[in-house]
Structure 1
Amino acid sequence: MTQLNDTSSVLDLLRSRKSASAKAMTGPGPSARELGEILGCAVRVPDHGKLAPWRFILWEGEARAAFGAALGRRWQALHPDHGPEAIALAQDLFLRAPVVIGVVSRAAPHPKIPEWEQQLSAGAVCMNILYAATALGYACQWNTGWLAYDDGMAAVMGLAPPERIAGFIYIGKAAAPLEDRPRPDPQALLTRWSPA
């Protein structure tokens, strides 16, 4: 492979996709039109029962710092023995990229559609966001972290049971060249079923 995130064809992008580190992102982020395109691609996923068991939260501009203040307060409440550096690290999480999209899974009991399938659909939404943002020339990374699993931050984000975070997608421009990593050999993971 000679180029990561090669957008010359769909297959080339699938073969070469590589996340960027949110710690090494800069601006600009996607425009309102591009965000519309990204989210339009995001919802074109398998969705058994047409439930749309997911929704989005967008952080951009000053909202990232305001959310960071809430992150800092929550971190301090959870870890009163941690010093200013740890609190600042929590506060700055969403300042790493110009845009962060939260994908909220709304998977819930259903008479016909298993919750697991609804959760998988939310994961597919996250992946489509990565592909769409990459295709538009942006660097992106899918993260979760402690805040995805914390009840206090769920309240700050306005999540209601049974909602939970499937992922935070950081989107911006790569501030450093991407480096690939070893990938598993798909043939080593493949078994062919045959009758006993």
Structure 2
Amino acid sequence: MTVVMDALLNRSSEARVTAPAPDAQTLEKVFACAARAPDHALLRPWRYLVIEGDEALAALGDLFASTPDADAPEKVREKLRANAMRAPMVIVGIACHQNHPKVPEIEQTMSAAVGMGYLLLALEAAGYGGMWRTGGLAYHPEVAKGLGLKDNEIITGFLYVGSVSSSKPTVPRPDQTEFVGRWPQ
């Protein structure tokens, strides 16, 4: 096997992460890896926001807490606020759609999503753990507005990043016969 294949086969989502988060030099390298995502027509249809530090994460939590209806219980808002504090760093992946005669928006979104996957793999290779989350907050217009997204942009996910704080059991993987077929049959 190769180093890349071993990394892929051993990859796992890590929900329990703590400080330290990656430093600037590590981030520079992992974002260079993310930029290697397949990119039809070299549109570079992605960008990332790095959110770290108590003040920035608290502001993200406040943004998350602002999303429920006005009559939502405070308990719901507190849970949303706490979501931002799951890790010492949150990286927001953003797909930046551009008009192009040969590259539809869905291809641009997929390119941005592959970049998020590469970013996660690169972070793991650098010794960090992470969890890629989406959910309602990723699709909420108030979150997009609060993060400064433009009309042509969507969130591809929130990557919660830090040092792995505890190991977990290996997740069983499906047998390839469950998801690989041959065509024609």
- On whether the aligned pair clears a TM of 0.5, the verdict is yes
CA RMSD of aligned residues (A): 1.6
* SS of the residue 1:49 aligns to: helix
Match of 1:188 in 2: 178
Aligned-pair CA distance for 1:35: 0.9
> Structure 1 stretches of 5 or more lacking a match?
1-7
Match of 1:66 in 2: 59
Match of 2:3 in 1: 9
TM (normalized to structure 1)? Answer: 0.87
2:119 to 129, 137, 155: 129
1:52 to 44, 65, 70: 44
- Paired-residue identity, %: 37
TM (normalized to structure 2)? Answer: 0.92
The 8 Å contact of residues 41 and 129 in structure 1, kept in 2 or not, is answered as yes
> Is residue 172 of structure 1 aligned with residue 162 of structure 2?
yes
Aligned-pair CA distance for 1:79: 3.0
* SS of the residue 1:13 aligns to: helix
* SS of the residue 1:92 aligns to: helix
> Is residue 32 of structure 1 aligned with residue 29 of structure 2?
no
Aligned-pair CA distance for 1:88: 1.2
> Structure 2 stretches of 5 or more lacking a match?
none
The 8 Å contact of residues 47 and 121 in structure 1, kept in 2 or not, is answered as yes
Aligned-pair CA distance for 1:41: 0.7
Q: Deviations over 1:6-60 (max 9, x none)?
A: xx92221111111111xx2211100011111111111011000000011111101
Task: Name the CA distance, whole Å, in 2 between partners of 1:190 and 1:58.
Answer: 36
Aligned-pair CA distance for 1:166: 0.6
Match of 1:4 in 2: none
Tell me the number of residue pairs that the alignment of Structure 1 and Structure 2 aligns.
Answer: 183
The 8 Å contact of residues 142 and 169 in structure 1, kept in 2 or not, is answered as yes
The 8 Å contact of residues 139 and 172 in structure 1, kept in 2 or not, is answered as yes
Aligned-pair CA distance for 1:66: 1.6
Q: What one-letter code is carried by the residue in structure 2 that aligns with 1:42?
A: A
The 8 Å contact of residues 101 and 168 in structure 1, kept in 2 or not, is answered as yes
Task: Name the CA distance, whole Å, in 1 between partners of 2:102 and 2:3.
Answer: 37
Task: Name the CA distance, whole Å, in 1 between partners of 2:155 and 2:103.
Answer: 20
